[in-house]
């Protein structure tokens, strides 16, 4: 109930806010910047963990900041497309989908991990179920996060296809649970025998004790892929756009970065995500259905 109340109240706020990302260049000074965060954990938790980011942006940009966490990537994409979100922290695939639906948006910063703007996904297996390698997933249930997630859907699905020749719906049953942590917990509880999620998120769940390595094990890991991008509405005032970008490039507060699961942020371009577009083509994923 608390999550629902948080989501509804945020939607009311953004519905009443003046927005710019609707296809028309903004000419008046913006008073409130709507900032969307990744919906990969509970909305209340994400908002709580990023209060310092809100304070930092408000102070740096000298304007009010409204943090938003939607129920999933699809509603986040629609929120930006309809002008209710000014900048958003997207997954690589959800950014590609967003760009396909609207031209007036661009990525400007990707989070750094181990000094690089890249990250990896992992496939995990339930130890008791004897899932030790990708081929063991045949005939079993594979848990994914959001359908528009890169590391909790696209990457693990590609690993299963290219390394083990396994196709969803034919060689294994797939289920979508929405969030990365939900995938890991489902595998640990045996509700799914395997699952895919972001490697950094999995490591965090292990560190926090939410996942027991005696019950869950990593059975495969992907190559590097371009990391989660911050995307900005290009209809915003140019000076404001530059201030926003620099705010992220210069961000060095350890507490804020920890909440964003980042070491810092580096410049990124749309073409850096062509590798994701190639993956979509390989897997024959219909972005229009997302």
pLDDT above 90 covers a percentage of the chain that reads 75
Q: What are phi and psi of 109, to 5 degrees?
A: -150, 135
Residue 8 has pLDDT above 80, yes or no: no
Max Cα–Cα distance, the chain, nearest Å? 61
Which band of pLDDT confidence, cut at 50, 70 and 90, is reported for residue 286?
confident
- Choose which CATH entry (3.40.190.10, 3.40.50.1820, 3.90.220.20, 3.40.710.10) describes domain 121-223: 3.40.190.10
Please classify residue 243 by burial: count the beta carbons closer than 10 Å to its beta carbon, then call 0-12 exposed, 13-18 middle and 19+ buried.
Answer: middle
If you average pLDDT over every residue of the chain, what do you get? 89
Which band of pLDDT confidence, cut at 50, 70 and 90, is reported for residue 287?
low
For domain 2-115+226-289, the question of CATH label 3.30.450.40 is answered with no
Residue 28 has pLDDT above 60, yes or no: no
Q: Which helix (H) or strand (E) holds 176?
A: strand 173-176
Q: Which helix (H) or strand (E) holds 219?
A: strand 216-221
Tens of pLDDT along 76-104?
Answer: 999 999 999 999 999 899 999 999 999 99
* Structural domain boundaries in the chain: 2-115+226-289, 121-223
Q: Could you check whether 2-115+226-289 and 121-223 share the same CATH topology?
A: yes
pLDDT of 22 reads 59
Mean pLDDT is lowest, of 4-8, 98-102, 220-224, 246-250, for 4-8
18 and 32 in contact (C-beta within 8 Å)?
yes
- List alpha helices for the chain, DSSP H: 2-16, 43-49, 51-61, 73-81, 92-101, 155-164, 180-189, 199-207, 238-249, 254-259, 274-283
Q: Is 154 helix (H, G, I), strand (E, B) or coil?
A: helix
Which band of pLDDT confidence, cut at 50, 70 and 90, is reported for residue 23?
low
The mean pLDDT of 125-153, rounded to a whole number, is 95
Tens of pLDDT along 240-285?
Answer: 999 999 999 999 999 999 999 899 999 999 999 999 999 988 888 7
pLDDT of 7 reads 44
pLDDT above 70 covers a percentage of the chain that reads 89
DSSP 8-class letter at 83: T
pLDDT of 5 reads 38
The mean pLDDT of 95-122, rounded to a whole number, is 94
Tokens of 71: 């129920």
């Amino acid at each position: 109930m608390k999550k629902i109340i948080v989501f509804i109240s945020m939607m009311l706020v953004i519905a009443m806010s003046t927005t710019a990302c609707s296809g028309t260049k903004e000419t008046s000074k913006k008073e409130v910047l709507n900032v969307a965060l990744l919906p990969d954990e509970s909305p209340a938790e994400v908002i709580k963990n990023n209060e310092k980011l809100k304070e930092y942006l408000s102070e740096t940009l000298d304007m009010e900041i409204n943090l938003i966490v939607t129920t999933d990537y699809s509603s986040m994409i629609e929120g930006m497309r309809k002008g209710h979100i000014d900048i958003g922290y997207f997954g690589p695939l959800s950014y590609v989908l967003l760009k396909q639906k609207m031209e007036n948006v661009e990525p400007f910063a990707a989070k750094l991990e181990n000094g690089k703007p890249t990250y990896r996904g992992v496939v995990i297996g339930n130890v008791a179920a004897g899932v030790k390698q990708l081929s063991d997933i045949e005939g079993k249930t594979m848990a994914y996060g959001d359908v528009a997630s890169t590391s909790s859907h696209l990457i693990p699905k590609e690993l299963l296809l290219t390394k083990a020749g396994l196709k969803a719906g034919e060689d294994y049953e797939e289920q979508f649970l929405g969030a990365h942590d939900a995938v890991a917990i489902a595998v640990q509880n045996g509700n799914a025998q395997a699952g895919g999620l972001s490697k950094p998120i999995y490591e965090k769940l292990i560190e926090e004790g939410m996942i027991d390595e005696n019950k869950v094990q990593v059975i495969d890991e992907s190559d590097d892929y371009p990391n989660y991008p911050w995307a900005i509405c290009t209809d915003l005032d140019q000076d404001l756009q530059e201030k926003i970008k620099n705010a992220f490039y210069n961000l060095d507060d350890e507490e804020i970065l920890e909440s964003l699961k980042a070491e810092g942020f580096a410049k990124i371009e749309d073409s850096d995500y062509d590798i994701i577009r190639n993956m979509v083509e390989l897997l024959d994923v219909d972005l229009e259905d997302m």
